[in-house]
Every structure is written in C-alpha cells, then in structure tokens.
Amino acid sequence: DFTFTPEPASLILLSLAGLFLRRR
C-alpha cells in the first residue's frame, strides 16, 4: 500500500511551500 504514506521530506517540502506562499 503506497497511497497515504507521504515521506517526512515531502511533508517538510509541502510545509515550506505553504510558508513561502503565505509570505508572498
């Protein structure tokens, strides 16, 4: 099963992208 098991790196990248978008 490899559908709902995002890696920690992916989560970090997502959070970083969110922060960047929020900062803009």
Cα–Cα distance, 18 to 24 (Å, whole number): 10
pLDDT value, residue 18: 92
Residue 2 has pLDDT above 70, yes or no: no
Read off the tokens for 21.
């978008």
Cα–Cα distance, 16 to 22 (Å, whole number): 10
Whole-structure pTM over 0.95, yes or no?
no
pLDDT tens digits for 7-22?
A: 788 888 889 999 999 9
